A and B are shown apart, each in its own frame.
Chain A
């Protein structure tokens, strides 16, 4: 059962976003002067509605790439074009409107600890809501059934009115993904969506994400540590290493030799686990025990 959110139907007819990156060099804002740039000359061309997986060892620049595409990180040099225009040359309000058409899901779920799941999920729809209707939705959630449908696709419908800090790390991550289903965006940029999920749930979540993206025709770019999932579910795989694109191939043409070259000196990430280099919060994720988030 795929989600058809009321109020978002007319947005499905709009064109999905295409991305053109050429020789993009980008630096993390807090980076020390003289340290190597996070992205060192990345060139990619992503058609509208395409599904793309980005793989690579830690520190390769996967998160920076997604942030650049989401207009959350300025370019040092190179060109970025979304739908044929450079977002950094738009005026402030036009840029903010463009941001509303992009959905960036960070690795650590951006959920306030004391908020309820229903409000967190409905927050995905905020760019399309006026201030008055969003305030009204805070007092009484405006579309509980849409939130429940979104959560049901990630097997979380029983947690609809729970508080976020009572959920486990994996459940929190799935709530963050359920937000995408309600957002009016035409491009989903998902950073490590499976980092806290066990293999069965990973497969479920990724399949849900891809099915919904295909149904709506949105462009989906996901960075993954689980190389097997990337090769199994995505048509196109980009390998990133030290800020450069090592290969950009259809999944069927990616060989073990490509992967060995990509993960040289990081073989434990290729073989061992997807949980090696996560931020501490995600590492403590345990599907049974709830994660303790400190409420000051």
Chain B
């Protein structure tokens, strides 16, 4: 069989296709037992009996509770919650910044040309383990512990948020710093600058926008956590929500939830403004 000039080249195949397809199949195969283990049956929600209960629950949200005394209490609770979240995140940043700098491989001088020395590698590993420990304990558990130590009130919430979020911020700051373009940083280190100089003159300007937007997102998460911590005695909006739900007052619950949604919308605006002003 003579081959025409068009059929002389063999048909080209994408070499990565097999690997990707196998990866996808493995993912689906793993997903099935996970769904079974979590008793994933969303159709239960739309059974007639359950729909009636949901309907009754939602209808209790209307009318919203708007009397002045309650709104004053909600305002105070909001202020407390925001304050708790803000102080918690600031303390978390104080914990996270030195850890992130210590764990960042981009600032390693021994790794400039060749493999990192064993001591710098060990220090970085140790810092990462500390960060893992800090963020693996949920803030609810920390708050329960601190409420016993310092008593009811926002202090317990602040400390819980500071520890857990310190671990989270430290890890993500380190990852953002490592994933930014290292060319300018490496050049400053190669020309004899110190690590901190390279950080402030090259690494930070390259990644400031992402660091800021992640920090504002974590502040928003901290506000949410403060609400949850209020359930265990840390005060603020969470405590209000807890009281209202225990008294089955749907109107008050709805008002508090709407205030909370407004808070989140405000943090979104702040994040956008910060990102645009830094870039």
- Footprint of B on A, CB under 8 Å? 29, 70-74, 92, 96-104, 106, 108, 110-115, 119, 123-124, 126-127, 129, 131, 134-135, 138, 183, 185, 295-296
CA distance A125 to B279 in the complex (A): 26
Contact with A along B231-266 (1 / 0, CB 8 A): 000000000000000000000000000000000000
Residue total for B at the interface (Cβ-Cβ under 8 A): 29
Contact A103 B191 (CB under 8 A): yes
A194 vs chain B, min Cβ distance (A): 19
Contact B205 A104 (CB under 8 A): no
User: What residue in chain B is nearest A125 (Cβ atoms)?
Assistant: B193
Number of A-B contacts (CB under 8 A): 90
CA distance A296 to B279 in the complex (A): 8
User: What residue in chain A is nearest B189 (Cβ atoms)?
Assistant: A99
Question: Interface-forming stretch among B30-38, B80-88, B108-116, B132-140?
Answer: B108-116
Find B191's partner among A73, A100, A112, A113 (CB 8 Å cutoff). A100
Contact A131 B190 (CB under 8 A): no
Contact with A along B169-185 (1 / 0, CB 8 A): 00000000000100110
Contact A112 B113 (CB under 8 A): no
Question: Interface-forming stretch among B18-26, B95-103, B206-214?
Answer: B206-214
User: What residue in chain A is nearest B192 (Cβ atoms)?
Assistant: A100
User: What residue in chain B is nearest A184 (Cβ atoms)?
Assistant: B192
Contact B192 A99 (CB under 8 A): yes
Which residues from chain A contact B205 at a C-beta distance below 8 Å?
Answer: 112-115
Which residues from chain A contact B194 at a C-beta distance below 8 Å?
Answer: 126, 131
Which residues from chain A contact B186 at a C-beta distance below 8 Å?
Answer: 110
- Footprint of A on B, CB under 8 Å? 109-110, 112-114, 180, 183-184, 186-188, 190-194, 196-197, 200-202, 205-210, 278-279
The answer to whether residues A106 and B109 also contact, given A119-B201, A123-B201, A135-B200 and a CB cut-off of 8 A, is no
The answer to whether residues A134 and B197 also contact, given A108-B183, A113-B206 and a CB cut-off of 8 A, is yes
Contact A29 B114 (CB under 8 A): yes
Contact A114 B208 (CB under 8 A): yes
Find B183's partner among A71, A106, A119, A127 (CB 8 Å cutoff). A106
Contact A72 B112 (CB under 8 A): yes
Contact A104 B191 (CB under 8 A): yes
- Other A-B contacts than A110-B202, A112-B201, A295-B279, 18 sampled, CB-CB below 8 A, are A29-B113, A29-B114, A73-B113, A74-B114, A98-B192, A99-B190, A101-B192, A102-B192, A110-B186, A111-B184, A113-B206, A114-B206, A126-B192, A126-B201, A127-B192, A135-B200, A185-B191, A296-B209
Which residues from chain B contact A102 at a C-beta distance below 8 Å?
Answer: 191-192
Which residues from chain A contact B278 at a C-beta distance below 8 Å?
Answer: 114
Contact A92 B109 (CB under 8 A): yes
Contact B192 A96 (CB under 8 A): yes
Contact B192 A72 (CB under 8 A): no
Cross-chain pairs A/B with CB under 8 angstroms, 16 sampled: A29-B114, A98-B192, A100-B193, A102-B191, A106-B187, A110-B184, A110-B186, A111-B184, A112-B206, A114-B279, A115-B201, A123-B193, A126-B191, A126-B193, A183-B191, A296-B210
Which residues from chain A contact B183 at a C-beta distance below 8 Å?
Answer: 106, 108, 110
Which residues from chain A contact B193 at a C-beta distance below 8 Å?
Answer: 100, 123, 126-127
